Amino acid sequence: MDIRELITKSSKEQRKALLNKEVSAVELTEAVYNKIEEVDEKIGAYNSLTKEFALETAKTVDEKIKNGEELAPLAGIPLALKDNINLKSSYTTASSKILANFVSPYDATVTEKLKSNLIPIIGKVNMDEFAMGSSTENSATKITRNPWNLNKVPGGSSGGSAAAVAAGEATVALGSDTGGSIRLPASYCGLVGLKPTYGRVSRYGLIAFASSLDQIGPITRTVEDSALLLNVIAGHDEKDSTSLNQTPPDFTKDLKNDLKGIKIGYIKELCSDGLAPDVADAVQKAISTYKSMGAEIIEISLPLIKYSIAVYYIVATAEASSNLARFDGVKYGYRAKDAETLYDMYVKTRAQGFGDEVKRRIMLGTYALSSGYYDAYYKKAQQLRRLVKNDFDNAFKKVDVLISPTCPHTAFDIGSKVEDPLSMYLTDIATITANLAGLPAMNIPVGLDKDGMPIGLQLQADCLNETKLLNVAFKLEEAVQFNYSIPSMAVV
Ligand code: GLN
């Protein structure tokens, strides 16, 4: 296979070519950089490249292949890293002006794991500033475009991760998901995106947005790649006290199980009103496909979903206002130059360093936490969050997996929602409840709408049930046969 085509394939096909010595890891990595050179001016996925380091890793892989040594399953497979995950000695900016010159002094735990698995890290990819957004338009760096249609957003906040994988500028990527930021861009770009159970993956070295919601997870072309990358990053980490003290299973082990007798619930509130017609059709088709595989389909009502956006935007902004207090011009990154007093320096640094959306969130969160309003907003939100979790607990007594669309519509036009934050927040309606409840959830592509844009289906399982989730996703992927390599052709 031509190497230009090979870089648009799954890790499985690339590994086969590596082991058969049809290509070397260095050639594969170089081909990805050539692709970046060719298309990234149009796509805008990368904030910075780490070429020397990636090629060094690839070289080590080639030596191991030459010596017939055992190779980790994703060794030599080019990866894009979201720019809020630390990679030692390279820029980690969270796509914010306030961190524009920040060079990380240490590796995140996930980055260490990528390194020990010899996965070449191609570079750091664009995102909404501090992961706040659904379109990657809130980046202080640049706009990232959707490889399927350059006038559309790639989704957010991990839009750079998704665009890079969709355009052949990386084979797999890591993103972070606080309210849907892995699943939404995966849905808009025709990819598989997985938010693991809260605590499954260490967040040590991830720039915190909302600590009770954030999770790191894979964005890939196939479900199997998602399982393989989760195998690399999952596990307890003593540097992150919220990481679960549990040995993770092999996430690839149940992929091929048949679905006879499995119970799949479709979420009534997300599968009826307000869906784009093509999205509604795709969900119905997925339901019939599952039925034909012997799954039992059950309607599940989660009436509290209607409050979830309000709950999320109070909890997430409250936590963000506290997490972002550390960016004050003293310890990290940007410092305003024209300040006269220390206080003045704090104020000017934050006023100049943060973008509008980040300021909006800090103000909202500070307000929700302030005395006099705390009970009315933050406490109420936490109480409702518990009730949302209870609803899911009850649902998972009846079904194994829940399905819904990932988003009521497909990717929207660049610029069409930036002036209207509320309509941007509504894109998260289907995804944020998984974060509120800590559940594992994923997007898988199930088809294209009438304009040729990818449609995503969301699957959710009970906590720690990723193997079941991946199994149900894998079987649908097999049936749908989604052609994920189309967009790389679209942009050449
Ligand atoms: N779109 C949501 C927000 O803006 C979720 C972001 C995320 O998951 N990081 O907060």
Helix (H), strand (E), coil (C) string for the chain: CCHHHHCCCCHHHHHHHHHCCCCCHHHHHHHHHHHHHHHHHHHCCEEEECHHHHHHHHHHHHHHHHCCCCCCCCCCCCEEEECCECCCCCECCCCCHHHCCCECCCCCHHHHHHHHCCCCEEEEECCCHHHCCCCCCCCCCCCCCECCECCECCCCCCHHHHHHHHCCCCCEEEEEECCCCCHHHHHHCCCEEEECCCCCECCCCECCCCCCCCEEEEEECCHHHHHHHHHHHECCCCCCCCCCCCCCCCCCCCCCCCCCCCEEEEEHHHHCCCCCHHHHHHHHHHHHHHHHCCCEEEEECCCCHHHHHHHHHHHHHHHHHHHHHHCCCCCCCCCCCCCCCHHHHHHHHHHHHCCHHHHHHHHHHHHHHCCCCCHHHHHHHHHHHHHHHHHHHHHHHHCCEEEEECCCCCCCECCCCCCCHHHHHHHHCCCHHHHHHCCCEEEEEEEECCCCCEEEEEEEECCCCHHHHHHHHHHHHHHHCCCCCHHHHHCC
If one residue of 129, 134, 317, 420 were mutated to test the ligand 1 pocket, choosing by the most ligand atoms within 8 A of its CB, it would be 134
pLDDT digits (tens, 9 = 90+) for 82-114: 999 999 999 999 999 999 999 999 999 999 999
70 occurs within a structural domain = yes
Q: How far is the CA of 179 from the centre of ligand 1 (A)?
A: 5
Query: What value does the mean pLDDT take over residues 327-349?
Result: 94
What is this structure's pTM? 0.97
| Ligand 1 and 316: CB distance under 6 A | yes
pLDDT at residue 108, as a whole number:
98
Domain that holds residue 158: 3-258+416-480
233 occurs within a structural domain = yes
- CA distances 328 to 55, 323, 354, 359, 392, Å, are 36, 12, 10, 13, 39
Tell whether the model's pLDDT for residue 351 goes beyond 60.
yes
Tokens matching residue 114: 């990528």
Q: Specify the number of domains making up the chain.
A: 1
pLDDT at residue 464, as a whole number:
98
pLDDT digits (tens, 9 = 90+) for 53-81: 999 999 999 999 999 999 999 999 999 99
| Ligand 1 and 129: CB distance under 6 A | no
Query: What value does the mean pLDDT take over residues 364-382?
Result: 93
366 occurs within a structural domain = no
Index of the ligand 1 atom closest to the CA of residue 181: 8
Index of the ligand 1 atom closest to the CA of residue 210: 9
pLDDT at residue 181, as a whole number:
98
Query: What value does the mean pLDDT take over residues 305-311?
Result: 94
Q: At a CB cut-off of 8 Å and minimum separation 6, what does 324 contact? A: 130, 354, 358, 362
pLDDT digits (tens, 9 = 90+) for 156-182: 999 999 999 999 999 999 999 999 999
Tell whether the model's pLDDT for residue 485 goes beyond 80.
no
| Ligand 1 and 120: CB distance under 6 A | no
What distance lies between CA 303 and its chain's CA centroid? 26
Distance CA 166, CA 172 (A): 9
Q: How far is the CA of 432 from the centre of ligand 1 (A)?
A: 8
197 occurs within a structural domain = yes
Tell whether the model's pLDDT for residue 142 goes beyond 80.
yes
Query: What value does the mean pLDDT take over residues 381-402?
Result: 98
Closest CA to 171 of 117, 229, 130: 229
429 occurs within a structural domain = yes
- Output the CA torsion 113→114→116→117 (10° steps): 120
pLDDT at residue 490, as a whole number:
58
Strand partners, 124: 48, 81
391 occurs within a structural domain = no
User: Amino acid identity, residue 44?
Assistant: G
Q: How far is the CA of 147 from the centre of ligand 1 (A)?
A: 21
33 occurs within a structural domain = yes
Measured in residues, the chain has a length of 492
Q: How far is the CA of 178 from the centre of ligand 1 (A)?
A: 5
Distance CA 89, CA 92 (A): 9
Tell whether the model's pLDDT for residue 492 goes beyond 90.
no
pLDDT at residue 180, as a whole number:
98
Which CATH number fits the domain that encloses residue 443? 3.90.1300.10
Index of the ligand 1 atom closest to the CA of residue 432: 5
Tell whether the model's pLDDT for residue 200 goes beyond 70.
yes
What is the band of 274 on the pLDDT scale with cuts at 50, 70, 90? confident
pLDDT at residue 422, as a whole number:
84
Tokens matching residue 486: 């189309």
pLDDT digits (tens, 9 = 90+) for 400-425: 999 999 999 999 999 999 888 888 88
Under a CB-based contact definition with an 8 Å cutoff, are residues 3 and 167 in contact? no
Under a CB-based contact definition with an 8 Å cutoff, are residues 92 and 207 in contact? yes
Under a CB-based contact definition with an 8 Å cutoff, are residues 203 and 426 in contact? no
Q: How far is the CA of 404 from the centre of ligand 1 (A)?
A: 19
| Ligand 1 and 410: CB distance under 6 A | no
Distance CA 353, CA 9 (A): 39
Tell me the pLDDT of the chain averaged across its residues. 96
Under a CB-based contact definition with an 8 Å cutoff, are residues 235 and 191 in contact? no
What is the band of 487 on the pLDDT scale with cuts at 50, 70, 90? low
Index of the ligand 1 atom closest to the CA of residue 313: 10
pLDDT at residue 491, as a whole number:
55
pLDDT at residue 272, as a whole number:
82
131 occurs within a structural domain = yes
Distance CA 326, CA 328 (A): 6
Q: At a CB cut-off of 8 Å and minimum separation 6, what does 422 contact? A: none
Q: How many CB atoms lie within 10 A of CB 275?
A: 19
Catalytic residues: 82, 157, 181
